[in-house]
């Protein structure tokens, strides 16, 4: 006998039908207007809308479309199609991610009467705190709405993906499928990195102007033939996947042979792209993955340590041999060079070049705010105010351009956050990363002795969050770079969603 629909189910079905009808009407209006215009460009836009409507019908299709466009297509277009019209590709992933919000709304309609009140995952609560502190920063510093708008867009452009990953009700194998998909994207870096090293690097040699030839080896994460490159993002991405491999192997979810082979493939691009920060990422990943096993599983601790040490030795040798200066003779020379360049104060660098070092950017902010307005110290000078034209902002009327031209006060995400959102916003971002780190550890403990893959996956993600946290003090990608932001919010969102799912699976609310 057919089941009679309840009034709540009828109301939910009616609401979904209204949404679908409204979307169809919108497409119809566009179709009529474009048919009357007779312009091919506008017709192409309409075709894109139709394709988009087909994608929106499946949340999985929307999700992978956004991830692939953000992590693969955007960076490749930036490097291989550098003409002006192609730059608009960077808007595709943020706009497409809004389709996930539509599915979130539909989920809310379907379960609104059955769902229990759920606490916010800690990483998302800290993210909301960051958003609110950013809003306060904008309101108390609103002198140029254009700068504030572009700054807010740069910081929050991938929040559609973030919200969708956190709150959509994905199937039980979603997290596993995402990690496996990221491994495929990691292997995809090899052919592009090889082409960039063997073809594009020779074209860059001798260009001058501060261009580092090998930083164009950035895989699919973006570079410019006549400018910089996101080689550090490639390094972080590959090392995080390497950490997941180690964790899966440690927990018996992957064989030793497969782990060794995949590790070599994943880390190969780091041998030639001169991302020195990888020399810190690799031991950090090892420490996070294996610190629990010194006494429990000393065999795997030692084997993993030997493997990580071997990878690190090969990397340090490559960084020494292929250093652009050609003056390094040993690992100690490499370490001395990096430390001296990145810890120099602004007074030490005058006469060399004016840009602040990574440590100097932090000390310079502190000196400038000893007697500054407390509102600016705690809430910053407004989103986007630390950006310069060469730093990713098209409008020059920012604090960085007006008062500190050439210094690059926002040279790292940490310094940019301090200038833009102050101490409060910076602490909120650090809280988001820290809570994601501990939530991943909690999930790993939950699945230990129950699911080896999930245990290894969350231990690897915990190491990944540690790497991303360190990267905040290395580059400014968190502020503006779409592939990096996609990866950050994907991992944090995946951890938060898994925490919520664990709560739903445990009626007592003790799932994680």
- pTM value? 0.85
Kind and range of the H or E element at 191?
helix 174-195
The rounded distance, in Å, linking the Cα atoms of 193 and 169 is: 36
3-state secondary structure of 351: coil
SS (H, E, C) 357-378: CHHHHHHHHHHHCCCCCHHHHH
Q: Pinpoint the alpha helices (H) of 251-297.
A: 256-267, 278-290, 293-296
Question: Which CA distances in Å does 132 have to 123, 145, 280, 429?
Answer: 14, 18, 33, 12
- Cα-atom radius of gyration of the chain, to the nearest Å? 24
145-156 and 122-140 are packed helices; what angle lies between their axes, rounded to 10 degrees?
A: 170
Sign of CA dihedral 88, 93, 94, 99: positive
What local confidence, expressed as pLDDT, does residue 350 receive? 47
Residue 455 lies in a domain: no
Instruction: State phi, psi for 6 to the nearest 5 degrees.
Output: -75, 165
Residue 82 lies in a domain: yes
Tokens representing 234? 């490639």
Consecutive 10-residue averages of pLDDT for the chain (512 residues): 48 57 61 56 56 67 90 91 73 85 76 65 96 95 87 94 92 92 95 93 77 86 86 94 94 92 92 85 91 71 75 74 59 54 50 68 91 92 85 66 88 95 96 97 92 95 96 92 96 95 70 50
Residue 397 lies in a domain: no
256-267 and 231-250 are packed helices; what angle lies between their axes, rounded to 10 degrees?
A: 170
Q: Is residue 183 a contact partner of residue 171, using CB atoms and an 8 Å limit?
A: no
Tokens representing 504? 């739903």
Residue 149 lies in a domain: no
452-471 and 482-505 are packed helices; what angle lies between their axes, rounded to 10 degrees?
A: 140
Residue 482 lies in a domain: no
- What is the span of the domain harbouring residue 43? 21-119
DSSP classification of residue 274: -
Q: Is residue 132 a contact partner of residue 438, using CB atoms and an 8 Å limit?
A: no
What local confidence, expressed as pLDDT, does residue 218 receive? 92
DSSP classification of residue 119: P
Question: Which CA distances in Å does 339 have to 334, 336, 344, 358, 360?
Answer: 9, 5, 8, 10, 12
Looking at the structure of the chain, the number of domains it has is 1
What local confidence, expressed as pLDDT, does residue 353 receive? 45
Residue 103 lies in a domain: yes
Residue 101 lies in a domain: yes
What local confidence, expressed as pLDDT, does residue 225 receive? 84
Half-sphere exposure of 127 (CA within 13 A, CB side): 19
What local confidence, expressed as pLDDT, does residue 274 receive? 80
Residue 90 lies in a domain: yes
What local confidence, expressed as pLDDT, does residue 481 receive? 93
């Amino acid at each position: 006998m057919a089941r009679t629909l309840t009034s709540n189910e009828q109301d939910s079905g009616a609401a979904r039908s209204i949404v679908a009808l409204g979307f169809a009407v919108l497409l119809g209006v566009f179709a009529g207007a474009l048919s009357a215009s007779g312009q091919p460009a506008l017709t192409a836009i309409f075709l894109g809308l139709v394709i988009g409507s087909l994608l929106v019908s499946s949340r999985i299709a929307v999700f992978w479309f956004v991830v692939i466009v953000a992590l693969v297509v955007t960076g490749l277009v930036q490097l291989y199609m550098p003409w002006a019209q192609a730059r608009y590709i960077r808007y595709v992933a943020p706009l497409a991610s809004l389709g996930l919000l539509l599915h979130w709304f539909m989920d809310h309609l379907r379960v609104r009467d059955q769902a229990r009140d759920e606490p916010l995952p800690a990483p998302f609560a800290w993210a909301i705190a960051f958003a609110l502190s950013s809003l306060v920063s904008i309101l108390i510093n609103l002198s140029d709405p254009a700068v504030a708008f572009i700054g807010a867009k740069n910081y929050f452009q991938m929040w559609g993906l973030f919200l969708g990953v956190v709150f959509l009700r994905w199937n039980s194998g979603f997290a596993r499928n995402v990690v496996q998909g990221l491994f495929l994207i990691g292997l995809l870096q090899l052919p592009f990195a090889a082409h960039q090293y063997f073809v594009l690097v020779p074209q860059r040699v001798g260009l001058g102007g501060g261009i580092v030839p090998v930083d164009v080896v950035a895989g699919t994460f973006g570079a410019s033939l006549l400018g910089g490159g996101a080689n550090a993002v490639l390094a972080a991405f590959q090392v995080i996947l390497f950490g997941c491999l180690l964790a899966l192997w440690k927990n018996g979810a992957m064989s030793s042979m497969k782990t060794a082979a995949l590790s070599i493939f994943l880390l190969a691009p780091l041998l030639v792209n001169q991302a020195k920060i990888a020399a810190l990422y690799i031991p950090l990943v090892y420490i996070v993955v294996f610190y629990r096993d010194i006494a429990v599983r000393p065999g795997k601790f030692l084997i993993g340590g030997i493997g990580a040490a071997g990878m690190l030795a090969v990397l340090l040798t490559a960084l020494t041999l292929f250093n652009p200066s050609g003056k390094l003779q040993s690992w100690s020379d490499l370490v001395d060079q990096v430390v001296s360049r990145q810890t120099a104060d602004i007074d030490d660098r005058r006469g060399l070049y004016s840009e602040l070092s990574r440590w100097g950017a932090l000390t310079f902010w502190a000196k400038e705010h000893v007697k500054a307005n407390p509102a600016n110290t705690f809430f910053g000078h407004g989103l986007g105010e630390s950006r310069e034209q060469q730093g990713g902002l098209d409008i020059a009327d920012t604090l960085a351009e007006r008062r500190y031209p050439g210094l690059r006060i926002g040279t790292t995400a940490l310094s940019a956050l301090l200038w833009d959102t102050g101490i409060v916003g910076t602490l909120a971002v650090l809280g988001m990363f820290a809570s994601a780190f501990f939530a991943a550890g909690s999930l790993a403990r939950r699945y230990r002795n129950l699911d080896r893959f999930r245990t290894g996956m969350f231990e690897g993600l915990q190491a990944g969050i540690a790497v991303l946290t360190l990267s905040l003090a290395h580059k400014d990608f968190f502020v503006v770079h779409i592939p990096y932001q996609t990866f950050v919010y994907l991992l944090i969102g995946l951890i938060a969603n898994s925490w919520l799912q664990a709560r739903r699976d445990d009626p007592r609310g003790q799932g994680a």
